[in-house]
Copies of this chain bind each other. A is one copy, B any other.
Amino acid sequence: MADPETLPEAERLEDDAYALSGETVRAAREAVEAGDAGALTALMAPLHPADIADLLEQLDEGARHRLIDLYGHEFDGDILSELDDSIREDVIAALSPAVLGEAVRELESDDVVDLLENLDAPQQAAILEALERPERLAIERALAFPEGSAGRLMQREVVTAPEHWTVGEAIDFMRASLDLPEQFYHIVLVDPRFRPVGHVTLGKVMAADRVTRLADLTEPSFRTIPADQDEEDVAYAFNQYHLISAPVVDASDRLVGVITIDDAMIVLAEENAEDLLLLAGVGDESISDRTLEIVRRRFPWLLVNLGTAILASIVISLFEDVLAAVVALAVLMPIVASMGGNAGTQSMTVAVRALATRDLTGSNAWRVIRREVGAGLLNGLAFAVIVGIVGLIWFGMPLLGLVIALAMVVNLVVAGLAGVLVPLALDKAGIDPALASGTFVTTVTDVVGFFAFLGLAAVILL
């Protein structure tokens, strides 16, 4: 009953419509412990590869390896694609070379590329060796594009037609083809030099007469994507222009592949997760990382934070005599800094988000800055009244209330200003604002908060 891996009432966490059920995880764990390959295979047969990947992530290392031993020969390549990076390496290492080779040979070329990118050299070599020569060459060509580029994201299999073809010719051609891609949504029209000139949705082809020219059915939303374009820009274009698929071209505008919306959706989700984690001072961390890995990833951010905290302490140390004279200052001191830090984080997060979605630009930056300062001033005045009264009532010192009220106004205005200027400046300098804004903004609000509060106290109270 007291299974240490399971929280009481664990079901409550999983009352979601999809996702692996806690029941399934428990049953799989029991089958693994009993060494019952039949029960395990029966349990896993109906699961989607994405859910099997989630199951592997939920188990601890020992149980995961025993599961792979029991289930290994049925191992689907798509499971590997769905796994978290940290778990994936472990699973690949645990698979026998024969099972790994079989699993990888089933995958589409863009999935193999995605798999290889995050593996170390020996594992990469093992997988490449398992592939047939033509596919290996195709994958090595894809890996020649820079990491995070459209060339890595695209699939090479594209359905094309000469621009002068009719609907009937296209349908006959496709019926005769033996290796059409698993999923495709457009026929790309190409000129004699294999440059894409337009594309036609399959729905339009279906609905048209056989004699209709494909060129008369092309979509106005057609856009090509350069193979060296950053995948973040690709995801932005898909989201902004509601693209379903877009041809990828090389430097001489020739067609080299196609990117589909499902790939763009994955990139978008990854970019959003990255921004969220970076803003919190966590790099590329996942819930399945080991303890030492977590420590290693978080330590540098905490070290930077220690530096800024010491800076704030130095500011405080300038006012030791004031603090010694009025101990109430030490009691109230964190309030101003904490409010400034929060207000700065609010402005900063809105600004970082707006930069990522390209809604904050040079054209409206001044307006946004003015608005942030205005909002900081208004909230500052409101909280000045509140904390002024708190200070007055708590310590019975009207001048102390005045000091904290004035410091509050100063710090909330500065917080609004820093919250938008810091991300703008980092973006201009070519640094990801999500990466470094938080540290700078809270340093500013801490230093200004303590300096304003204790400095005003020195002038007004002493």
Contacts and interface: CB of A to CB of B under 8 A. Distances in A.
B330 A295 contact: no
A333 to B, nearest CB: 7
Given A183-B244, A353-B277, A362 B14 contact: yes
A362 B6 contact: yes
A160 interface: no
Given A13-B360, A18-B236, A277-B350, 10 more contacts: A7-B424, A10-B362, A185-B203, A272-B272, A275-B276, A281-B345, A306-B387, A309-B338, A320-B330, A330-B333
A387 B305 CA distance: 12
Contacts of A113: none
B277 A276 contact: no
A181 interface: yes
A432 interface: no
A201 B229 contact: no
A168 to B, nearest CB: 11
Given A230-B17, A273-B353, A291 B244 contact: no
Contacts of A242: 50, 262
A206 B205 contact: yes
11 contacts: A6-B363, A11-B362, A183-B201, A265-B268, A272-B273, A281-B342, A287-B368, A306-B339, A312-B338, A313-B332, A334-B446
Interface in A108-157: none
Interface of A: 4-7, 9-14, 16-20, 22, 25-26, 48, 50-51, 54, 57-58, 60, 84, 159, 171, 174-175, 177, 180-181, 183-185, 201-203, 205-209, 221, 229-230, 233, 236-242, 244, 261-262, 264-266, 268-269, 272-273, 275-277, 279-282, 285-292, 294-295, 298-299, 301-302, 305-306, 308-310, 312-313, 316-317, 320, 323-324, 327-335, 337-339, 342-343, 345-346, 348-351, 353-354, 357-368, 371-372, 374-375, 378-379, 382-383, 386-387, 390, 424, 427-428, 446, 450
A27 to B, nearest CB: 11
A194 B388 CA distance: 68
A379 B299 contact: yes
A18 B231 CA distance: 12
Contacts of A378: 291-292, 295
Contacts of A286: 350, 354, 359
Most B CB within 10 A of own CB, among A18, A323, A351: A18
A183 B203 CA distance: 7
Contacts of A184: 203
A371 B446 contact: no
Nearest to A427: B13
Contact of A203 (B202, B280, B324): B202
Closest 5 CB pairs of A and B: A10-B362, A280-B349, A202-B202, A272-B272, A287-B354
A299 B382 contact: yes
Contact of A306 (B14, B20, B324, B386): B386
B281 A280 contact: no
B363 A58 contact: yes
Given A19-B236, A50-B240, A299-B382, A365 B13 contact: yes
A17 B240 CA distance: 12
Contacts of A357: 273
Contacts of A203: 159, 174, 180-181, 183-185, 202
Contacts of A323: 323, 327, 330-331
